[in-house]
Structure 1
Amino acid sequence: MSSEGYSESELDAMPDRIAGTFSGLKLLITGGTGFMGKVLVEKLLRKCPDIDHINLLVRAKKGKNPKQRLEEMFNGELFEKLREMRGGVEPLLAKVSIVSGDVMEPDLAISNDDRQRIIDEVDIIIHAAATIRFDEELKKAVLLNVRGTKLMVELAKKCKKLKLFIHISTAYCHLHEKLLEEKPYPPPADPHQVIQAVEWMDEDTVAALTPKLLNTLPNSYAFTKALGEALAVEAMEHIPVMILRPSIVIPIWQDPLPGWTDNINGPTGLLIGAGKGVIRTMYCKSDSYADFLPVDVFINGIMIAVWNYITYGDKARNVLNFTSSAEIKVTWSEMIDAGREIIMNRVPLNGVVWYPGGSMKHSRLYHNICALFFHWIPAILIDILLFCLGYKPVLMRVQRRISKGFDVFEYYTNNQWDFKSDHAQTVRQRLNPKERRDYKVDAVGLDISNYFEDCIRAARVYILKEYDDTLPAARRHMKVMWWVDLITRCLFWGLLIYWAYGWMSSLWSFATDSSETLSVTAAI
């Protein structure tokens, strides 16, 4: 027996109402070449063979035109399973069209022909394009996350066949709310006024005003995502809109490639940095937890939300929080400990700078002292050695990036938020057993240790390009670094004891000499 007491054949015989919902529909997706967008496009093409067409709004990037970027995406490892199912890349390209444009540009930089085609044909718009850099310059963040949303809403209002406009927000955009409910919240500023202001101001002026505009918010990401969400809320009066708020989106859990990601943002970067031995201290409440959501779980949630809205006309549940902490909580300490055990004993990384170690600090002062001795000083010494040997210094640059990341990271690791997900939980109950298997949105069967191992293995191969044939050498190097770390610790503590012994001996000699001098003086 397999899922919920049913055999695989019994499950396969059940209807897939979610795939059926997309049958014959034409979609427009922004952000389709990003991390989340790639997984969405792959799932739609794999599970919904009768979908009519997918239009992807894509810009030129790094010397590659939109068509080249799409072909490169389809030839990637994420789409390998789909290519095998469909017989190569060509059938995928037949289902997907490029709309050349840029969400950050005025009028989206879309041609008149493409714009008219969208207005006449598109049934569903999924707006996922955004800058997710927490330290992005405010002007760029506003133009992309806020004005871009406004332009997409205006385009959606003109679409003649529009059934649903989905705005991808974030569960971390209303940070003043320690308990985020599934409802709209007032924005931190008027999004229209903010757009008008940054359009005529230059970058230096906007940068100077940024602290005042952000007020108590920690970064431009939270500020602009809250403004973008407010525009989607405004549009609810005119078009069918749904706002989806995922928490921290992390690598794939199950489908189609466990552990896959195309970046080292968030926990993945943290695990890699700690595994390479370059992160040895963090200012963090180790017993606090963040809310993580595997990207495939969220993509399943998007498809379920579309099905629920279109099939049931469920307009009351138009703001959904996609979060995991109601079912499973993983503290920062548990995550780091699990990652460290995996990297040290099962999946070591190549070129480890030092044996993984260190700890989380509850005191900022203690963390800063440790960062000086275990991050900055070793980085300076190793870079000097590399320079002397004729190599390019790298560790100081790495540590500057780590320090910059910590500036953002610390706000989230030293604060705690909780999320209500009653709407999402209710929608989940409408799924049949087959749909619960194929569009998994619960934590049943999740093994944290195995999941983190999949993440590290995938990052090792797809991000770091460290393939499995290098594992034996990596294990040998890890053992060498264990001995280096042990010897260094022994030398350090030995020298410290030796220095302390010498200091105590000098103090004892001084005290003894002083006592003898006083005795002689008294005798005289």
Structure 2
Amino acid sequence: MPDQVQAILASGKVHFIVGDMRKADFGLKNEVLEELREQVTLVIHTAAKISLEASLVDAFENNCLPALEMARIASRFRRLKLLIQLSTAYANSFLPDGPVLERPYTLPDHDGDDDPEEELSSILTLNQSPIANRFSSPYAQAKYIMERLLPRRFPLLPILLVRPTIFGQALRDPFPLYGLENSTPMNKFFQHFLADRGATQVWHAAAGYTTGANIIDEIPVDFVANACLVHAATRTTGIVQVGAQLYEPFTFDAFLEMAVSNAPPAILRDLPRVVFTEDLNAPQCFLAELVQVASRHWLFDCGRSYWLKQLGGPLSLQQCKPQVDEVNRRRLQQIYSRLMKKEKARL
């Protein structure tokens, strides 16, 4: 972490309260809850477990239930101005390729008649769902149900749902490349991709394309944080999306080219060979089945946050392409360095 951490803690402006999100009231003592009820004006709930391989129950216990409990706790805060809840743009991954707007969606063939309460109960009881295959991952489905339930259960709460696209490492704050390893999916993608040395990988091309010319929508984690803080200051409610429209769009082809152009000579000759097919019935490689969003081409509308690109100061979303390219170059070097260290340790 950056050098400023100890100074921030010593300032007395940051207070930690230890709880357990799996328990009612997060396991907090009554006197702590009462203090929060009297003082808190803003809640930003970002806790999540980003895993594409989690079971339905695990995904919902980590990404749906805590958000609902946080809203229940916040509904008793007497001075609350806004609750910001992080969702994901892929909560609507049942939609066809094309525009995804900043609004609620329901599964098209349900006509709005599906009951998210019944769906949640069924998942937690049976660990299965008849609509699970409509989503890119259990994580995405958990966020979808959470988005449906929050306004139903808490219609009077001032809520802002923030839908980031794929989290990337920080561009600037708290320092370039900051990001937890398991919370930056494209880094995990690169690691899995590079581990498949010498193989030929078959990927489905997104609809209308013959290669990976579709946008893989990634946004630096510090840009998401900045967007949350500025929207908190303006008390925005409803739904906002934070994605590549506010940053630098990269295609799947561009990500693959980055992997090649930054590869050390010792690894370059053994990089996987990627083959795209327009036959959606053709078997794909394991990684393509895991990262289903790589074969899609959604265009996430970020219109409610577009003005943030004109904002100056420490919360700005302004950037330049050379800065972005340099961070991505260092990112690949970091991944390759770790890979080579692991390979040397095995020898």
Alignment CA distance shift 1:277-1:145 (3 Å): closer
Q: Deviations over 1:398-420 (max 9, x none)?
A: xxxxx3x54221x2122210111
Q: Deviations over 1:153-182 (max 9, x none)?
A: 111110011111001011111123331111
Q: Deviations over 1:15-56 (max 9, x none)?
A: xxxxxxxxxxxxxxxxxxxxxxxxxxxxxxxxxxxxxxxxxx
AA of the residue aligned to 1:330: F
| Aligned mates of 1:186, 1:365 — CA distance in 2 | 25
The correspondence of residues 45-56 of structure 1 with structure 2, limited to 5 A, is none
Alignment CA distance shift 1:197-1:99 (3 Å): farther
State whether residues 169 and 245 of structure 1, in contact with CA within 8 Å, keep that contact through their aligned partners in structure 2: yes
Equivalent residue, structure 2, for 1:4: none
Alignment CA distance shift 1:362-1:192 (3 Å): same
State whether residues 123 and 164 of structure 1, in contact with CA within 8 Å, keep that contact through their aligned partners in structure 2: yes
AA of the residue aligned to 1:131: K
State whether residues 165 and 239 of structure 1, in contact with CA within 8 Å, keep that contact through their aligned partners in structure 2: yes
Of 148, 162, 166, 2:84 maps to 166
How far is 1:183 from its partner?
Answer: 1.7
Q: Deviations over 1:256-304 (max 9, x none)?
A: 3212322155221233344456374433332222111011111111111
Of 300, 303, 313, 1:422 maps to 303
Q: Deviations over 1:189-236 (max 9, x none)?
A: 53322333345x2xxx32xx33x1425223211111011112333366
Secondary structure at the counterpart of residue 115 of structure 1: helix
Alignment CA distance shift 1:79-1:101 (3 Å): same
Tell me if 1:357 matches 2:271.
Answer: yes
| Structure number, greater radius of gyration | 1
Equivalent residue, structure 2, for 1:127: 45
Equivalent residue, structure 2, for 1:307: 233
State whether residues 2 and 175 of structure 2, in contact with CA within 8 Å, keep that contact through their aligned partners in structure 1: no
Secondary structure at the counterpart of residue 362 of structure 1: strand
Secondary structure at the counterpart of residue 51 of structure 2: coil
Of 91, 97, 119, 1:194 maps to 119
Equivalent residue, structure 2, for 1:80: 3
Equivalent residue, structure 2, for 1:408: 290
Secondary structure at the counterpart of residue 84 of structure 2: strand
The correspondence of residues 26-175 of structure 1 with structure 2, limited to 5 A, is 78-83=1-6, 86=7, 90-91=9-10, 94-175=12-93
Q: Deviations over 1:72-99 (max 9, x none)?
A: xxxxxx232444xx2xx7516x333332
Equivalent residue, structure 1, for 2:260: 340
| Aligned mates of 1:337, 1:324 — CA distance in 2 | 18
Of 261, 269, 272, 2:191 maps to 272
How far is 1:366 from its partner?
Answer: 12
Name the structure with the higher helix share. Answer: 1
How far is 1:247 from its partner?
Answer: 0.4
Q: Deviations over 1:96-143 (max 9, x none)?
A: 333222223344232323222222221111111122112211122222
| Aligned mates of 1:186, 1:216 — CA distance in 2 | 12
How far is 1:460 from its partner?
Answer: 6.1
State whether residues 275 and 340 of structure 1, in contact with CA within 8 Å, keep that contact through their aligned partners in structure 2: no
Of 307, 315, 330, 1:454 maps to 330
Of 310, 315, 321, 1:439 maps to 315
Alignment CA distance shift 1:184-1:233 (3 Å): farther
State whether residues 273 and 279 of structure 1, in contact with CA within 8 Å, keep that contact through their aligned partners in structure 2: no
Secondary structure at the counterpart of residue 16 of structure 2: strand
Secondary structure at the counterpart of residue 101 of structure 1: coil
| Aligned mates of 1:428, 1:449 — CA distance in 2 | 18
AA of the residue aligned to 2:317: V
| Aligned mates of 2:24, 2:186 — CA distance in 1 | 35
Alignment CA distance shift 1:427-1:254 (3 Å): closer
State whether residues 289 and 416 of structure 1, in contact with CA within 8 Å, keep that contact through their aligned partners in structure 2: yes
Alignment CA distance shift 1:460-1:82 (3 Å): farther
Equivalent residue, structure 2, for 1:295: 221
| Aligned mates of 1:279, 1:452 — CA distance in 2 | 24
| Aligned mates of 1:231, 1:292 — CA distance in 2 | 27
- TM-score, length of structure 1 as denominator length: 0.56
Alignment CA distance shift 1:365-1:220 (3 Å): closer
| Aligned mates of 2:5, 2:198 — CA distance in 1 | 37
| Aligned mates of 1:326, 1:256 — CA distance in 2 | 19
AA of the residue aligned to 1:290: I
Q: Deviations over 1:491-514 (max 9, x none)?
A: xxxxxxxxxxxxxxxxxxxxxxxx
Residue range with higher mean Cα deviation, 357-366 or 281-290: 357-366
State whether residues 57 and 123 of structure 2, in contact with CA within 8 Å, keep that contact through their aligned partners in structure 1: yes
Alignment CA distance shift 1:454-1:257 (3 Å): farther
| Aligned mates of 2:336, 2:3 — CA distance in 1 | 18
| Aligned mates of 1:244, 1:281 — CA distance in 2 | 38
How far is 1:360 from its partner?
Answer: 1.7
Count, aligned residues = 328
| Aligned mates of 1:148, 1:254 — CA distance in 2 | 29
AA of the residue aligned to 2:179: T
| Aligned mates of 2:103, 2:197 — CA distance in 1 | 41
Alignment CA distance shift 1:122-1:297 (3 Å): same
AA of the residue aligned to 1:418: L
Alignment CA distance shift 1:198-1:112 (3 Å): farther
